[in-house]
Amino acid sequence: MTSVLIVGVLPYDSGKTTLAIKLVREAIEEGFDVGVSKPVGGFNGWYLRVSIELNLKAPS
């Protein structure tokens, strides 16, 4: 069994999901048994610190 973790520097709009979709489709076409999982959430400490300093609220 092989696992692949896709990460990016930006929390959004960096192409992580697009890349994952393409990799999964290719793997399925090649005959691999594929399972996927996406973390519920995460954060970057730098963004958290800046958000607190600027008193920014999370988008709803």
The answer to whether residue 41 sits within a structural domain is: yes
Cα separation of 35 and 42, whole Å? 21
**Per-residue pLDDT tens digits for 21-30:** 999 999 999 9
The rounded percent of the chain whose pLDDT value lies above 90 is 25
Specify the number of domains making up the chain.
1
The answer to whether residue 26 sits within a structural domain is: yes
The answer to whether residue 5 sits within a structural domain is: no
Looking up tokens 């990016």 gives 8
The answer to whether residue 9 sits within a structural domain is: no
Average pLDDT over residues 22-44: 83
Q: Which domain holds residue 39?
A: 16-53
The answer to whether residue 43 sits within a structural domain is: yes
The answer to whether residue 49 sits within a structural domain is: yes
pTM here is 0.57
Using CA atoms, how far residue 20 sits from 1, 37, 45, 49, in Å, is: 17, 10, 24, 29
